[in-house]
Structure 1
């Protein structure tokens, strides 16, 4: 038998055929690599978007829940906006707010410490007493000590360990004071509230209330048990949502971590700026209405004070925004540049309610100390508006 193949064919592939095969193989490998790379990019984008959505929604839900309850027990006009003396042995401090160039610590449903383009610090105050706005009036003058005499005997609904707010009447005569009921002296001396200092009463001090009141010129409000007093301050640091709270163990003096990859929280007051006859501002038949959004306090009631008690009493709603980012950063291009996000996000751009001008805020999403450029992450913005219903239910 003879071999029918030519000598050339018996020699194997030619150089040209081998080069063509290598080129075809490299093209196939390049195509497969590109498919895998694109699939990985899409997977990271999808997972990053899912992480941002989960974290952002959880953060917004937590703050929205606080806002919905805010102001309970603090909505009386004698208390809302009142500069308050407060001491907590566990370390919690009241949020500061400006008033005519000075800094006060008011009782309010919400207090916003504006951070400009950086994250805000948002504080919500809530009592838990079933009596809500129940109060008793003082009888004798108070100028120090651990007992405040009241005009009734054995005040209804006041129990040992309850937190009380003592407010001047008329409003503005002096500061308000927050303390804790140590005991109510038994009959026949049950015409006072004792707030002696002790390890069981974290809001009491040996110096008494820290504010003086004239005879019959104070009213006492019950905020419920001290262990359930819900004073919550939300903030963001290095991409982590933090909470400082009076009713969370270990979170009074220093905030605790709640959710990661939250790069900013922002808030705005919704003021009722209407000028109505006899507006005090007890809601009229139409209720309270948002007429202006602002990240800072304004002179909403038109008096001589900016940030006065009347301005806090005109807060009808609060607008909250959360900016969350993807967990993983996307890889930069061959020049070292990222394009996952090209511009800083804006919040509060929509007009709501109808006819009320939006006040947009550009958010700085760069995290201090993060070596990765902020443009390498994807971001999601979550917003909500919460009516401060306890402000409208003012007695």
Structure 2
């Protein structure tokens, strides 16, 4: 009989098997990581596109809301619009006050840069109509009869002590001068007693039978612009403090452009769009609307070039749009390129164009 001896067996993984397993695990990890990275990039792209949609939408809504009130209480008479405006504080003209009384003042930027839009309206909430004057007429040189401090009016309805008023001399005089109503002693009387707003003999000229007062309240004076770091900025100028308060409203706003919509033929239909600010009351009466475009950009930088051509503002066909605004032909229509190529990486972002056309209802109603 022979005794059998059991053989020794190998237990565990060989080095080759271990290396193959590790290689498979690394490949699976790489595949999972790639899927997660792509998913995250897709999520960021979608989110940033949504951000551009929200920022641009809110920016255009804010401007639209203010444009609808443009000229309220100011352009209550056709001869008011565009009158050269002067107002003093402490005996000196207020620097920064609007140069004219008009619903909207567009300051055109160079081709490829943003415009600024300044919107004016009265702050009176209850009643803001023009107030015709009557005899005895205001005269800064008639001190004995108190005509230098008293405005006799047909009705002082809506005027309150502390309101800022503008004396519109009326055609052919195209100027208007501001002062403060200090008291309303009777329904047909507005007093202008001496204070920081009311320097001696200001307003400087005697009123005439066709002159009237415009009630500014405290004057709503808002300016919208785009900053260098791509933010929509609202600047509110106060006549009382003679300072402007700025607030950045929306980020990733690249460009804002604006045009006056004008009826140059008197047909009641807008036929011309340009950024040329009118210089006379007759030219101001042609302005019927304001057209604004806002270009918003996504915040996500894309590795690939996702935008290959400059965004464009289609202003339509059959309308007069001066070449000075940068208009070019685009098919059968006319377009204004929104130049964002000052940034060398502009092709790596997504863009969204927002446009609005706002009829200046206060301007239309007064005509």
Short-chain TM bin: 0.7 to 0.9
Give the aligned partner of residue 271 of structure 1.
Answer: 262
Match of residue 137 from structure 1: 133
1:394 counterpart residue number: 366
How far apart, CA to CA, are the structure 2 residues paired with 1:39 and 1:250?
A: 53
Output the CA distance in 1 between the equivalents of 2:251 and 2:88. Answer: 31
* One of 323, 328, 339 as aligned partner of 2:305: 339
In structure 2, distance between residues paired with 1:205 and 1:340: 60
Match runs of 1:175-214 below 5 Å: 175-184=175-184, 186=185, 191-194=189-192, 196-198=194-196, 204-206=197-199, 209=202, 211-214=204-207
Runs of at least 5 residues in structure 2 that lack an aligned partner in the other structure: 322-326, 328-334
Partner of 2:87: 86
When residues 45 and 271 of structure 1 are mapped into structure 2, their CA distance, relative to the original with a 3 A threshold, is same
**Counterpart pick for 1:361 among 336, 352, 366:** 336
Match of 2:332 in 1: none
Distance 1:195 1:67, change over 3 A: farther
Q: Does 1:308 align with 2:303?
A: no
CA RMSD of aligned residues (A): 3.6
Answer whether contact 2:122 2:220 (CA < 8 A) is retained: yes
Q: CA deviation at 1:87?
A: 4.6
Q: Whose strand proportion is higher, 1 or 2? A: 2
Per the alignment, do residues 2 and 268 of structure 1 end up closer, same or farther by CA in structure 2, a change over 3 Å counting? Answer: farther
Q: 1:381 to 1:208 in 2, by over 3 A?
A: farther
Distance verdict in 2 for CA 1:166–1:249, change over 3 Å: closer
TM-score by length of 2: 0.78
1:36 aligns to 2:16 (yes or no) = no
Gaps of 5+ in 1: 96-104, 199-203, 277-287, 298-305, 333-337
CA distance in 1, matches of 2:211, 2:6: 123
Secondary structure at the aligned position of 1:197 is classed as coil
Displacement of 1:254: 3.9
What residue is the counterpart of 2:116 in the other structure?
121
* Aligned pairs, number: 340
Aligned partners of 2:226 and 2:232 also within 8 Å = yes
Aligned match of 2:244: 253
Whether the 8 Å CA contact 1:174–1:211 is kept in 2: the answer is: no
SS at match of 1:39: helix
Q: Which moved more, 1:314-323 or 1:206-215?
A: 206-215
Pairing of 1:263-302 with structure 2 (within 5 A): 263-275=254-266, 288-297=268-277
